[in-house]
Amino acid sequence: MITARKNTAVICLLAAVILLSAIPVSAQKSVTGEDDILELMTTAEQEFDLTEDDAAILLDDISYTWTDNGRLITTVHRIIYVGTDVGVETYGDHRIPYDHANCTFDVVTVRTWRGTQHWETGETGIVETLPYRLEPAYDYSNMREMMLLHDGIEIPCILEVMYTIEDKRPYRSGAEGIRYFQRRHPSVKSRFSLTVPRDMTPGFAASDGVPDPVQTVSEEYNMTTYRWTMGPLAALPYPQTDDPAAYAPHIIWSVWNNWNSFGDYLDGVFKQAQSLDSFMIKTLDSVLVDARTGSEKAGLIADFIEERTSFIDYPEHYWWSSPRPAVRTYATAYGHRLDRAILAAALVNQAGLIATPVFIGDGFGPIDNSVPSLARLGSVGVWISGPDLEAYYDPSEGSIHRGITSIIGKTVWSPGIDDIPSVRVQDLNEHSRLEIILDMTIDAESDTIDGRGYLFADNCMNVFSRMEGLSDEGKEFLDAVVAGLLEGAEVTDYSLNRFDLFNVTCGFEFTMKKPENDDFDRLALIIGDPEGGLYEHLPDDVVLYDNKRRSPVLLQCRMYQKIELRIKLKGLEPVYLPENKLIENESGKFTITLKQDDRLIDISRELFISQTRHENSSWPDLRALLLADVQKLNRALLFRTKADSEKE
């Protein structure tokens, strides 16, 4: 069993190899005596370009101990070389959250190497604070952040920090998590250890390339330790995606016996906290008095929670062992994600619908479900079902996502209901499709442009959830679609041909004020992006100004988008139209097709993304398609008034 020692220290080095070589061998050891700092530094110089990197992690060691009486002990030990101001800003100060009410925090060392000696941080450099995001939330004051501040830092330098967080008493029913071996900066040695009672068999799921653990047994403490070591390792591929486990070496671990026991625990905690008093029930009745459908009830409840409770943006996993009752969340008018989910479920169930906790995967596709863990399952939400409703409530956003678009291709788990996490809904077709056709007439004598449109959307690009409702939801969404394509356009009427969870097909009529001519007396139309279009389905890490990336691009589905304009001109002639273009590569295809005669201009812009996973080597191909699509020359149309002699 790991025991904690209270101490402090830091290591800083001006000329790393020269100075370290002048230090006695005993002084080059880590605080535990297990690792030789000079050897780690030498390896870093051989493996990495320290003139280019802001920092290098010489040692990244994390260990967990699950005791025989159900307490968790976490020990973190890191040794870090920093060579720039950015490195100092990143690693010079550490802010470590911990549950002050249930855990102890013991500092082993915080030290800096300066010259030929180490300089230890004093008591003033070890400060316990309340996280600033929790300042307005008194009920969450059990959380603290321990600030460990390195003294005497100079560039370059080596920093060492080690601390232990230990449960004061058994208050958890289990433990699980994920260990990534790569970090923001390159690592020389990355270790992970899990120690459990000898009669326990923990669960592990290791990604490709992770070696088998070294297993040791302590007869004295009757414990078994599993230890993995990797390195040297490059930095975690950048930019970071929502699901690094899809490509980065990692281990998912758990002391839970199986998914059913884990699910029963989470479901039991969730249900137990769904308490409402008579005042809240009366308040809910008044909120829902005009609701006609289950969908309206769900939407009104989501709006009610958003208006009455402020969202506290802090990881909710610290409170799974004892979430607040729904009545307390309402009374205090604030809540983190778990508390708002419980409040929503309580209100939804009281309203006669069915609300269950649900976890939706961070990434896309199936995950390794051999180990019961939330590591790749995101944060808790609420799935709402009823006779006319299937919807997801996001407690952070405070919003309802109707339909199934949000879960297509994603791993989903409802604890207490599902035996194991699985992909419930796959993309049914070879690709998802959004197609929009606009027929319009542009008259030189008219102040408006009028036309008709057609929209088709299916699978993960389906817009059902955006249009569903008994008020103006459909028109408001279509207004946003046409306004995204043509600034200032709005829908005057629409008709649905098909409208369900898998497909929306509709026609509409639209109008817009004709833009003023530019300085060259030309009428310019710039075709934009429709609301709900392909770009809304790209992850935030897809940034076109980055010409290189190291991480893959992970998409929900293969996507096809077509925007077609069929334009009749009266008293006008084209000055500039996009040319026919074709770009085809391993990531997909981009085309512009122009057909033109005296009667009609027909121009279509098509973008097809043919893969759901694009390795970093394919980024130039994918980027080329996207850049071609957003290029202004491929979106601009210029017209001018015909001379009188040219008019019919």
Burial of 106 (0-12, 13-18, 19+ CB in 10 A): middle
Q: How far apart are CA 173 and CA 262, in angstroms?
A: 9
At residue 27, does pLDDT exceed 50?
A: no
> Domain 432-641 is in which class?
mainly beta
CA dihedral in degrees (238, 244, 248, 253; nearest 10)?
150
Beta-sheet pairing, 601-609 with 490-499: unpaired
**Contact criterion met (CB below 8 Å) for 167 and 71:** yes
Phi, psi of 467 (to 5 degrees): -105, -20
Sign of CA dihedral 16, 17, 23, 29: positive
pLDDT in tens, 566-575: 999 999 999 9
Q: How far apart are CA 71 and CA 192, in angstroms?
A: 18
Burial of 419 (0-12, 13-18, 19+ CB in 10 A): exposed
**pLDDT for residue 9:** 30
Query: Which residue bears the tokens 């403490």?
Result: 221
Sign of CA dihedral 232, 233, 234, 235: negative
At residue 117, does pLDDT exceed 80?
A: no
| CATH of range 261-423; options 1.10.760.10, 2.160.10.10, 3.10.620.30, 3.30.460.80 | 3.10.620.30
Res. 598 pLDDT band, cuts 50 70 90: confident
**pLDDT for residue 23:** 31
Phi, psi of 499 (to 5 degrees): -150, 100
Res. 4 pLDDT band, cuts 50 70 90: very low
Nearest to 477 by CA among 457, 460, 463, 492: 463
- For the beta carbon of residue 504, count every other beta carbon within 10 angstroms: 27
pLDDT in tens, 628-643: 999 999 999 999 998 7
Q: What is the pTM of this model?
A: 0.90
Long-range Cβ contact pairs of 616-622 (< 8 A, separation 24 or more): 616/237, 616/548, 616/549, 616/550, 616/551, 616/552, 618/553, 618/586, 618/587, 619/548, 619/549, 619/553, 620/547, 621/585, 621/586, 621/587, 621/588, 622/553, 622/587, 622/588
Phi, psi of 49 (to 5 degrees): -90, 95
Q: How far apart are CA 491 and CA 530, in angstroms?
A: 13
**Contact criterion met (CB below 8 Å) for 269 and 415:** no
pLDDT in tens, 67-116: 999 999 999 999 999 999 999 999 999 999 999 999 999 999 999 987 66
**pLDDT for residue 113:** 82
Q: Is 92 left (phi over 0), alpha (psi -120 to 50) or beta?
A: alpha
pLDDT in tens, 200-220: 999 999 999 999 999 999 999
User: Residue type at 9?
Assistant: A
User: Residue type at 73?
Assistant: I
Res. 11 pLDDT band, cuts 50 70 90: very low
Lowest mean pLDDT among 253-262, 336-345, 464-473: 464-473
Round to the nearest angstrom and report the end-to-end CA distance of the chain.
93
H/E run at residue 21? helix 16-21
What is the chain's mean pLDDT, rounded?
92
Q: How far apart are CA 436 and CA 91, in angstroms?
A: 50
CA distances from 298 to 221, 284, 303, 427 (A): 53, 12, 9, 26
Helices first, then strands: H and E counts in the chain = 11, 35
Sign of CA dihedral 325, 312, 315, 377: positive
Burial of 285-323, coded b for 16+ CB within 10 Å and e otherwise, reads eebbeebeebbbbbbbbbebbeeebebbebebebbbeeb
3-state SS, residue 340: helix
At residue 18, does pLDDT exceed 60?
A: no
Sign of CA dihedral 23, 76, 196, 207: negative
**pLDDT for residue 645:** 53
CA distances from 233 to 58, 206, 236 (A): 10, 16, 9
Q: How far apart are CA 437 and CA 510, in angstroms?
A: 12
Residue 90 tokens, joined: 């990143």
Residue 244 tokens, joined: 């690094």
At residue 448, does pLDDT exceed 60?
A: yes
Q: How far apart are CA 94 and CA 298, in angstroms?
A: 42
Q: What radius of gyration, in Å, describes the C-alpha atoms of the chain? A: 30
Res. 462 pLDDT band, cuts 50 70 90: very high
Contacts of 49 (CB under 8 A, 6+ apart): none
**Contact criterion met (CB below 8 Å) for 155 and 84:** yes
Report domain extents, the chain: 16-255, 261-423, 432-641
**Contact criterion met (CB below 8 Å) for 255 and 175:** yes
CA distances from 461 to 169, 253, 399, 430 (A): 49, 35, 19, 13
Percent over 90 (pLDDT), the chain: 87
DSSP for 431-487, please give it.
SEEEEEEEEEEEETT-SEEEEEEEEEEEGGG--HHHH-SSSSHHHHHHHHHHHHHST
Alpha helix (H) ranges present in 222-366?
Answer: 259-272, 278-287, 294-308, 326-332, 337-350
Res. 499 pLDDT band, cuts 50 70 90: very high
CA distances from 498 to 15, 502, 559, 560 (A): 71, 10, 20, 19
Percent over 70 (pLDDT), the chain: 94
CATH assignment, 16-255: 2.60.40.3140
At residue 375, does pLDDT exceed 70?
A: yes
How many residues does the structure list for the chain?
648
Q: How far apart are CA 402 and CA 439, in angstroms?
A: 30
Same fold, 16-255 and 261-423: no
Res. 537 pLDDT band, cuts 50 70 90: very high
Q: How far apart are CA 552 and CA 574, in angstroms?
A: 42
Residue 425: beta bridge partners? 408
Contacts of 615 (CB under 8 A, 6+ apart): 552
Q: Is 388 left (phi over 0), alpha (psi -120 to 50) or beta?
A: alpha
Higher pLDDT, 27 or 230: 230
Q: How far apart are CA 378 and CA 376, in angstroms?
A: 6
**pLDDT for residue 197:** 98
